[in-house]
Amino acid sequence: MNIDTLKQQIEEVVGVPLTLSEMDIQSWHQLMEEANPVHAGYIQLNDRFLWLWQSRSSSVQLIEAEAARVTEKEAKLIMLLLTAALEGMKPALSTKRDDEIRSIQLGEWVEERIQQGELHSPVPEQLIGKYRLNGTMLPFLLSCEMGSGHSIQFSKLNKLLRSYFGGEVMLATLKEEWLILVSERLLVDLREESEEGTEAEREMLSALCQGLYELITSEWGGSGFYVSVASQLITDQQLTQTVLILRETLKLGRAFRVTEHVHLPWELQLERLVYSISDLERNRFIEESGNDTSLLHDEETVTTIETFFELDCNVSETAKRLYIHRNTLLYRLDKFKQETGLDVRSFRDAVLVQLGLLLYKVTKKV
């Protein structure tokens, strides 16, 4: 049953005209805080009754009526009719709707803890629900550019993630992000398939992020999605602090690696250090280096050097990656040395050039 038909039927039952509306999810959360009193499933705000019909990642769909034309009993009746309609639309849909509401509430709780600086608070049990994540969990952060996440529906995303990870996951609806919590139990099989060691663990996490990104983009299209994951399993008391770390990771990744969409905290350690340096210290480093780094403004030069560093300064592999002859690569590196006095084949100079590249991306003044 679509919402227009449902609205018409409810109007016939209660004899009160209703209107449909939609607002962004942050405004709805603010209204819920201001409303007094708050009822189960609806709120009364000034001269209006508002019933929540459907929540999305960044907006909510509402049914409204003038408070003067609706009694308290009629307001409850409308809520019961909406609930009954949801239950009749699909088996167990009411449970799914509960999960969606819990997702919003968990997101609100995380945002409140961040605002209040309470970074080590345990998650309240009522927000965990029946899919309680005992022990440790692995958090992913899916960031959506403004407008990209608007069309993502909770139920569809939840279904995709359950299929992808092979079991139940928990979602928290943040501002322009989805926090995805995966139980350690779902990672056991993946670990058994991997080799032992930190490197293999990180490769597994990187592959999971890449697969998640491809899943999201194939389903919703566009390029406005970014994914990160924690470097280790966490407990619920570490959840809020981990969200801040993942947000910082995505911020750094988008600043320093603009063409990539999967950003991992262990790959951005140097970038994190450079970003924390004050403008005064950045400029001081540039001045004291005493070298002309104007070639860093040239796109071909930057691409060549970044690829060279990415491939551990291997000349043959870099030439293959760039689809150029080995001698062409050597010519570019020699030209850079002549212009700047820095030989990127030397460890010390390579470090200085890497820092210069990162500082350029931060300040655009190198």
Beta partners for 144? 225
pLDDT score of 197 more than 60: no
Return the higher-pLDDT residue of 297 and 253: 253
User: What is the amino acid identity at position 148?
Assistant: S
Distance from C-alpha of 320 to C-alpha of 179, rounded to nearest angstrom = 39
Q: Residue 340, class by beta-carbon neighbours within 10 Å (0-12 exposed, 13-18 middle, 19+ buried)? A: buried
pLDDT score of 172 more than 70: yes
Task: Quote the pLDDT of residue 212.
Answer: 93
Domains of the chain, residue spans: 3-89, 99-270, 277-363
User: What is the amino acid identity at position 122?
Assistant: P
Whole-model pTM over 0.85: no
Return the higher-pLDDT residue of 364 and 131: 364
Sheet order of strands, 59-66 included: 19-24, 59-66, 48-55, 42-45, 38-39
Distance from C-alpha of 283 to C-alpha of 292, rounded to nearest angstrom = 14
pLDDT in tens, 313-339: 999 999 999 999 999 999 999 988 888
Residues 178-184 have a mean pLDDT of: 90
Domains 99-270 and 277-363 belong to one CATH topology: no
User: What is the amino acid identity at position 284?
Assistant: R
pLDDT score of 96 more than 70: no
The kind and range of the H/E element at 172 are strand 169-173
C-alpha closest to that of 106 among 183, 31, 180: 180
Task: Quote the pLDDT of residue 151.
Answer: 65
pLDDT in tens, 51-85: 887 776 677 888 888 888 888 888 888 888 877 77
Name the least confident of 185-194, 210-219, 342-351: 185-194
Fold of 277-363: Arc Repressor Mutant, subunit A (1.10.10)
Is residue 263 very low, low, confident or very high in pLDDT (cuts 50, 70, 90)? very high
DSSP 126-144: GGTTTS---S-EEEEEEEE
Task: Quote the pLDDT of residue 210.
Answer: 93
Question: 154-165 and 93-116 are packed helices; what angle lies between their axes, rounded to 10 degrees?
Answer: 90
Is residue 127 very low, low, confident or very high in pLDDT (cuts 50, 70, 90)? confident
pLDDT in tens, 264-287: 999 898 888 888 888 788 777 767
CATH number of 99-270: 3.30.70
Residues 242-259 have a mean pLDDT of: 91
Inter-CA distances, 78 with 50, 84, 159, Å: 10, 10, 29
Return the higher-pLDDT residue of 223 and 91: 223
Task: Quote the pLDDT of residue 264.
Answer: 94
User: What is the amino acid identity at position 184?
Assistant: E
Name the least confident of 130-144, 198-212, 273-287, 289-303: 289-303
Is residue 94 very low, low, confident or very high in pLDDT (cuts 50, 70, 90)? very low
